């Protein structure tokens, strides 16, 4: 494939003027069997390029381990993009934000006391070196300099919002070059951060969703020559639990795209297709109050979660056609959907009756964090004995992020980080009663200084002013349900699994609705659909067709509290919640 050059008057590809018209498509948020479909629709829109982040935390779940298989087979994704005639902007971080768990930084970094992420801390840079050494050599054949589709690689991500240490950026640039990246590098920042986030000799690009002229003017002020590019043109936004579903008018977004292209700028549409935060992968924000992100990453994008074109797709296609060739083919039709059905979950099991799902308990004077236990996602169960019967006030230093409290197996309350809660009162029935605290990681903070976000119970735990000691800390990763044993359903107190099955003639995309359920997680055939929460806004979970099979299919739900029903519904359309209060 041709090589990208950065000239004073813009991008050039094999010495010909070139404008990047790209769209965000994160392979790790899309079932791998649906990558080709999304890439085809990118080409039919008129895009010549797609952009993707690389989540270090998924590729390297533990130190010394690296994965490029299944849904993380990035070489395959790049090959499919090339087969569709698309170039690729690769954004390997190491920090990616992306409303992704921890901004893509592996949680095991936080097992190091005092480590400074996104800095020249030698421990962090050594880990980055190991990451890039594992990631980049397999990608070398996919760089455009080797005939592949990757025409440019991003250095860090919106670093100007975090710091201004050009030495750190230079270290990262050096590591990229050492490990084989010989295509152009670029940085991206919001307009007010451009001065801090750049590195001499590396192309600056700007991120914004509106005020096009102001954003481009600020970029040109700091970079008098070279291409103008908006690396993240935000056409929608993400949602958080307990808020509304964010949307943006298609005509308004298309008008700003027109302004961008009329100015001669290149663009990456964020997002072309948002996809889904499957499993436990959604992130969170914390600007004084912790706000976890929902499972859907629909983003009000050009393709919805199921990959169907939205009104924005057609509006953007019309704009792009004014400035670049668009394939003379019709807009793709929506894909087939599951027929609506009610599924009874007629088997169940109490969570605490499944000790084989938990990691081996670690005994210590204080509760151990999830990172100390060597786990990234899921829950931690803390257990100890209460010293005396009678009224008790439990006080904890920090809850990261949501704690369900039990005494002798009975639920006595919940503490939420989001609500700044630290204390709970209850009556202890006897001396030596068993105190159990189940803490859920609802997503590590992915933006700002809060990324140093260790999970579990932090600091001392006291009852009536006396610090409790002699704790057992057990991880509950839920990365496999193979060992789950269920029995005919019966009333259960506390968190419980519920399971049922349904028959299908032909798999298709669909949505799982959990009306009447409170909070928890859902799986289909062992595939993790993600979190649900009656708090909303979203009330359905996307079910990708490749997670289903002809014949018998199995739904498993972990309900953390209680449900008014034993049924769930399969639907043919999503419900992402109201756009207004």
Superfamily of domain 4-320: Glycosidases (3.20.20.80)
Alpha helices in 67-182 (DSSP H): 74-83, 122-139, 166-178
> What pLDDT band is residue 258 in, cutting at 50, 70 and 90?
very high
Q: Could you check whether 4-320 and 355-476 share the same CATH topology?
A: no
CA distances from 252 to 56, 210, 214, 311, 577 (A): 35, 9, 17, 12, 21
DSSP helix/strand/coil, 324: coil
Is 415 a residue whose pLDDT tops 80?
A: yes
DSSP helix/strand/coil, 79: helix
Ordered by start, the domain boundaries in the chain are: 4-320, 341-350+484-571, 355-476
| Of 1, 38, 14, residue with least CA distance to 309 | 38
User: DSSP letters along 14-26, please?
Assistant: TTEEE--EEEEE-
- pLDDT tens digits, 424-481: 999 999 999 999 999 999 999 999 999 999 999 999 999 999 999 999 999 999 999 9
Per-residue pLDDT at 223 = 98
CA distances from 62 to 115, 133, 359 (A): 17, 15, 16
Fold of 341-350+484-571: Jelly Rolls (2.60.120)
| Contact indicator for 322, 140 with CB cutoff of 8 Å | no
Per-residue pLDDT at 581 = 76
- The CA distance from 319 to 321, in Å, is 5
The secondary structure of the chain in percent helix, strand, coil, rounded to multiples of 5, reads: 25, 35, 45
DSSP class of 170? H
Percent of the chain residues past pLDDT 70, beyond the cut: 100
- The CA distance from 307 to 302, in Å, is 9
Positions marked active-site: 158, 232
Element (H, E) at 471: strand 471-476
The first and second tokens of residue 98, run together, are 């992306």
Is 255 a residue whose pLDDT tops 80?
A: yes
Q: Classify domain 355-476 by CATH architecture.
A: Sandwich (2.60)
Per-residue pLDDT at 88 = 98
Per-residue pLDDT at 1 = 65
Give this prediction's pTM.
0.98
| Of 227, 234, 216, 141, residue with least CA distance to 184 | 227
Per-residue pLDDT at 32 = 98
| Contact indicator for 415, 424 with CB cutoff of 8 Å | yes
What number of helices (H) and strands (E) belong to the chain? 9, 33
Averaged pLDDT score across all residues of the chain: 97
Is 23 a residue whose pLDDT tops 80?
A: yes
Q: Give backbone dihedrals phi and psi of 244, rounded to 5 degrees, phi first.
A: -105, 165
How does strand 466-467 pair with strand 290-292?
unpaired
| Contact indicator for 501, 554 with CB cutoff of 8 Å | yes
- pLDDT tens digits, 272-315: 999 999 999 999 999 999 999 999 999 999 999 999 999 999 99
Per-residue pLDDT at 489 = 86
Q: Which residues contact 65 (CB under 8 A, 6 or more apart)?
A: none
For residue 127, count CB atoms less than 10 angstroms from its CB and return exposed for 0-12, middle for 13-18, buried for 19 or more: buried
Is 95 a residue whose pLDDT tops 90?
A: yes
| Contact indicator for 292, 241 with CB cutoff of 8 Å | yes
């Amino acid at each position: 494939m041709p090589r990208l050059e950065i000239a004073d008057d813009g991008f050039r590809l094999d010495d010909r003027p070139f404008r990047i018209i790209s769209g965000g498509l994160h392979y790790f948020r899309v079932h791998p069997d649906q990558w080709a479909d999304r890439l085809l629709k990118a080409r039919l829109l008129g895009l010549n390029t797609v952009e993707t982040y690389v989540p270090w935390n998924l590729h390297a779940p533990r130190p010394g381990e690296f994965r490029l298989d299944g849904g993380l087979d990035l070489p395959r994704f790049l090959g499919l993009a090339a087969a569709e005639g698309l170039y690729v902007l690769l954004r390997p971080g190491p920090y990616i934000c992306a409303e992704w768990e921890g901004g893509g930084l592996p949680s095991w970094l936080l097992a190091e006391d005092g480590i400074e992420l996104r800095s020249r801390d030698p421990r962090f840079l050594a880990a980055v070196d190991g990451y890039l050494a594992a990631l980049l050599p397999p990608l070398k054949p996919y760089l455009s300099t080797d005939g592949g589709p990757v025409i440019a690689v991003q250095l860090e991500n919106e670093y100007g919002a975090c710091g201004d240490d050009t030495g750190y950026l230079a270290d990262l640039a050096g590591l990229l070059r050492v490990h084989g990246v010989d295509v152009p590098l670029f940085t991206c920042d919001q307009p007010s951060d451009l001065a801090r986030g750049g590195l001499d000799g590396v192309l600056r690009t700007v991120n914004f969703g509106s005020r096009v002229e102001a954003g481009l003017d600020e970029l040109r002020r700091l970079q008098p020559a070279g291409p103008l590019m908006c690396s993240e043109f935000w056409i929608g936004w993400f949602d958080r639990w307990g808020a509304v579903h964010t949307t943006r008018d298609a005509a308004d977004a298309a008008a700003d795209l027109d302004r961008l292209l009329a100015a001669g700028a290149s663009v990456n549409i964020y997002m072309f297709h948002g996809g889904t935060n499957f499993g436990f992968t959604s992130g969170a924000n914390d600007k004084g109050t912790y706000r976890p992100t929902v499972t859907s990453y629909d983003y009000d994008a050009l393709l919805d979660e199921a990959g169907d074109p939205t009104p924005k797709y057609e509006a953007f296609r019309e704009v792009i056609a004014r400035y670049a060739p668009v394939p003379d083919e019709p807009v793709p039709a929506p894909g087939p959907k599951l027929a609506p059905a009610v599924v009874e979950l007629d088997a169940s099991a109490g969570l605490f009756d499944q000790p084989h799902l938990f990691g081996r308990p670690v005994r210590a004077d204080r509760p151990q964090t999830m990172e100390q236990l060597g786990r990234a996602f899921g829950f931690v169960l803390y257990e100890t004995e209460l010293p005396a019967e009678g009224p008790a006030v439990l006080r904890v230093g920090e809850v990261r992020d949501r704690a369900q409290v039990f005494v002798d197996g009975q639920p006595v309350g919940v503490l939420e980080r989001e609500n700044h809660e630290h204390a709970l009162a209850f009556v202890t029935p006897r001396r030596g009663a068993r105190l159990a605290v189940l803490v859920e990681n609802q997503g590590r903070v992915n933006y700002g200084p809060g990324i140093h976000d260790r999970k579990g119970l932090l600091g001392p735990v006291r009852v009536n002013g006396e610090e409790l000691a002699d704790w057992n800390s057990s991880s509950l990763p839920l990365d496999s349900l193979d060992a789950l044993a269920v029995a005919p359903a019966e009333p259960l107190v506390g968190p419980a699994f519920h399971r049922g099955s349904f028959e299908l003639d032909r798999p298709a995309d669909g949505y799982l609705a959990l009306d009447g359920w409170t909070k928890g997680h859902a799986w289909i055939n062992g595939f993790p659909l993600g979190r649900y929460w009656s708090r909303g806004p979203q009330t359905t979970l996307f079910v990708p067709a490749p997670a289903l099979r002809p014949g018998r299919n199995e739904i498993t739900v972990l309900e953390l509290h209680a449900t008014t029903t034993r049924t769930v519904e399969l639907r043919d359309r999503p419900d992402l919640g109201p756009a207004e209060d």
